[in-house]
Amino acid sequence: MPETINVYLGIDLGGTKIAAAAVDVRTGERQVQLVVPTEAHEGPPAVITRIASLVDRVCDQANLRREHVPAIGVGVPGVIDPSSGTTLLLPNLPSGWRGVPLVAEMQRLTGRPTAIINDARAFTLAEAVFGAGRGMHSVVGMTLGTGIGGGIAIDGRLYLGLDGTAGEIGHMTIDPNGAPCGCGNRGCLETFASGPSITAMGLRAVAQGMTTQIGELVEYDLNKITPEIIMRAADNGDGVAREILQRAGSYLGVGVANLITILSPDRVVIGGGVSRLGEWILGPVHAEILKRCHVTPLNRVQVVPAQLGGEAGVIGAAVWAAQTSGTWH
């Protein structure tokens, strides 16, 4: 048996880029990592061929023979059918990738066993095994970005529910009469605390003529308003910007409080681009938890920032490949 048996390949497929890494699943160490543009407009077959080519490049740079890779894990941004290895809907990619047999195509092109997982679940698995949840019995992961994703890990393994969708945290109902969500529901957490929802609050404030620095910071080019711009205004003492972040953080805190009440986890790990707003978001989250959680021992629950950054996706995908291939110990 080759010495490289503990090195698996993890792929993180995104709307704009594909990352691939050779990961030692005993330590979480990435031996080689490469990133290429997704070029998603070319369609699923071209993108899958690009992923397979990236696998070869990673193997070459890691001095790893492809046939010695036990398995490949692919994290994807959307809904999958784990039993068939098919993507059902990747909303941020053209065509939505409905019914694409990703696992079968990867195995045909690479000759290696392949497993797919939702990218937020991959994040959760990586953080539970090697990141901010390491050593904990139960971990809830949350990714805050264009949407809000998540996952649940028990003793370093994902709890996936009936069909891999357990952990769709962004689609819990926060306000039954709230705004429509892309998932078909109304008032989902994602409509209150995702990056686009925070940006939309900033846009409305400027459009309504509120006294705020947000417009000035982007020279009134409203297309340039982002959560980071709103944070800059808040750092400068802007009351409107602070209210926007307080509002988003409070709604997020309601969602986290619900999770804590239902799951009573050891740790809640929060990552993704919006988490970089730091205490502007996490402060209201903690306040809401204290206000709303009265049946859970909060002294034993920690809500913490993620530790692995943008590398969690490839690490989690590689660990998922190891676990599903039956070689994980």
With respect to residue 129, please indicate whether it lies within any of the assigned structural domains: no
- Domain co-membership, 150 together with 292: yes
Structure tokens of 296?
């859970």
Instruction: Give a yes or no: residue 187 inside a domain.
Output: yes
The predicted model scores a pTM of: 0.94
Q: Is residue 201 part of a domain?
A: yes
DSSP string for 204-273: HHHHTT-S-SHHHHTTT-GGG--HHHHHHHHHTT-HHHHHHHHHHHHHHHHHHHHHHHHH--SEEEEESG
CATH of the domain at 200: 3.30.420.40
Q: Has residue 262 been placed in a domain?
A: yes
So what's the pLDDT on residue 1?
Answer: 37
Q: Print pLDDT tens along the chain (329 aa).
A: 345 479 999 999 999 999 999 999 999 999 999 999 999 999 999 999 999 999 999 999 999 999 999 999 999 999 999 889 999 999 889 999 999 999 999 999 999 999 999 999 999 999 999 999 999 999 999 999 999 999 999 999 999 999 889 999 999 999 999 999 988 999 999 999 999 999 999 999 999 999 999 999 999 999 999 999 999 999 999 999 999 999 999 999 999 999 999 999 999 999 999 999 999 999 999 999 999 999 999 999 999 999 999 999 999 999 999 999 876 66
Chain mean position to CA 92: 13
Measured CA to CA, the distance from residue 182 to residue 196 in angstroms comes to 12
**Do residues 86 and 142 share a domain?**
no
Please state, rounded to an integer, the average pLDDT across all residues of the chain. Answer: 95
Residue 231 shares a structural domain with residue 314: no
| Residue 28 resides in a domain | yes
Same-domain pairing of 101 and 32: yes
Q: Are residues 42 and 25 in contact, defined by beta-carbon separation less than 8 angstroms?
A: no
162 shares a domain with 116: no
How far is the C-alpha of 136 from the C-alpha of 154, rounded, in Å? 8
Tell me, yes or no, whether 205 and 238 share the same domain. yes
Domain span holding position 99: 3-124+310-324
Q: DSSP for 163-194, please give it.
A: TS-TT-GGGSBS-TTS-B-TTS-BSBTHHHHS
pLDDT value of position 328? 65
**What are the φ and ψ backbone dihedral angles of 141, each rounded to 5 degrees?**
-105, 145
Q: Is residue 110 part of a domain?
A: yes
Q: How many domains does the chain have?
A: 2
Do 168 and 229 belong together in one domain?
yes
Q: Are residues 62 and 13 in the same domain?
A: yes
Q: In this structure, is residue 130 part of a structural domain? A: no
Q: What is the pLDDT of residues 241-278, one digit of tens each?
A: 999 999 999 999 999 999 999 999 999 999 999 999 99
